[in-house]
Amino acid sequence: MQAFKRASSTALRAVVFACLFILTACQTLVPEPAPVEAPEPVLPVPAKPVVVKPPPAKPAPPPPIAVLFNSDIATYAEVAEALKATLPERLLVIDIDDQNSDALQVQLAENNVQQVVAIGDKALNESRAIAKIDVIYAQAFTADASMRGVPALPPANLQLAYWLDQQPSIRRVGVLGSEAFADALNEIREAGALLGIEVDSQIVANDKQAWFEFRRMLPAIDGFVFLPDANILSPSAIQRMLAHGSKNELAFLTYNALLFKLGAQLHITHNPRNVAEQIARLIDDRALQTLPQTTFRARTRGMEEFVDVNG
């Protein structure tokens, strides 16, 4: 019996050792899984350095344009005001009533002025004395063909066409002027020919000759143009012409508000805005020579306000 127990115990131990052996063998035969390689770290892309460019330098502002005028003359002040509205950022407005020639030239030099708008004959004469400067004139009667600007009077064909429309009986017109107004006389004569109006034009030297020629032509004309020519039209000559013309039912065209009040039938003046627009074009394009007014203002006897007349 004991021998049996010993044999059983020995057999049990053999079985246990066999099982342990099998387990050990199985563990040895099963391959270990291959090690998983860790991915290479993704390095961040280095940021490009930010180059801060300085803002582009602002171009230097263009030099100002000087506007010279007499503030006590209403028609000149109107054009100056219209220019200020048209070119508000670019103007240096100078009242030449407050300046002598030397002080004016110093002021223009200090501001590096290269262009001048001369409104009126006095301003134009001041501008002529300044070397190497571009001058544009307006409302000036002493300008010549070599200068750039806007003539003081609207084109004669526009004026006569409007006059004829208002007074169809105007068929023969007289006009007098000094040598300084020779071009204006020729323009009126040529415009009249195109409109079927006969124009008697004469160049005279003084108010006495003007009075003589006026009396000569008076019986043969329906209308008379009072050019703003102080060389030949003294106050006394104007008064006599108006008086004699009224007796003969003569129609007068004038550019002066006082003469209109004294009896002229048609008053023509510039449109300040239109003149300013033409000047602005001349400022921006130095290749342009002269630009005529394309719109003017007119009123006939009995009208309180001006009407704009388009060319």
**CATH code (residue 173):** 3.40.50.2300
- Looking at the structure, tell me whether residues 128 and 183 fall in a common domain: no
- Looking at the structure, tell me whether residues 110 and 198 fall in a common domain: no
Domain assignment present for residue 187? The answer is: yes
pTM above 0.85, yes or no: no
Task: Provide the greatest CA pair distance for the chain.
Answer: 183
Domain assignment present for residue 279? The answer is: no
Tokens 């030449």 belong to: 96
Cα 178 to Cα 168: distance, rounded to the nearest angstrom: 29
Domain assignment present for residue 5? The answer is: no
Q: Into how many domains does the chain fold? A: 2
- Looking at the structure, tell me whether residues 93 and 144 fall in a common domain: yes
Least Cα distance to 85 among 275, 310, 304 occurs for: 275
Domain assignment present for residue 282? The answer is: no
> What is the residue type of 244?
H
- Looking at the structure, tell me whether residues 130 and 189 fall in a common domain: no
Do the Cβ atoms of 241 and 231 come closer than 8 Å? no
- Looking at the structure, tell me whether residues 258 and 192 fall in a common domain: yes
- Looking at the structure, tell me whether residues 227 and 182 fall in a common domain: yes
Least Cα distance to 159 among 226, 92, 108 occurs for: 226
The boundaries of the domain holding residue 95 are: 65-152
Domain assignment present for residue 161? The answer is: no
Instruction: Record the tokens describing residue 262, joined without a space.
Output: 């004294």
Domain assignment present for residue 35? The answer is: no
Phi, psi (rounded to 5 degrees) for 245: -65, -40
Do the Cβ atoms of 187 and 158 come closer than 8 Å? no
Distances (CA, A) of 143 to 57, 151, 268, 271: 41, 8, 21, 20
- Looking at the structure, tell me whether residues 178 and 232 fall in a common domain: yes
Domain assignment present for residue 208? The answer is: yes
Cα 263 to Cα 266: distance, rounded to the nearest angstrom: 9
Cα 147 to Cα 164: distance, rounded to the nearest angstrom: 32
- Looking at the structure, tell me whether residues 173 and 259 fall in a common domain: yes
Full pLDDT tens readout for the chain, 311 residues: 444 445 455 545 554 454 444 445 445 444 566 666 766 776 676 777 777 888 888 887 888 999 999 999 999 999 999 999 999 888 999 999 878 899 999 999 999 999 999 999 999 999 988 888 999 999 999 998 899 999 999 999 999 999 999 999 999 999 999 999 999 999 999 999 999 999 999 999 999 999 999 999 999 999 999 999 999 999 999 999 999 999 999 999 999 999 999 999 999 999 999 999 999 999 999 999 999 999 999 999 989 899 999 97
Domain assignment present for residue 293? The answer is: no
Non-local CB neighbours of 299 within 8 Å, separated by 6+ positions: 260, 266, 267, 305, 306, 307
Gyration radius (Cα) of the chain, Å: 48
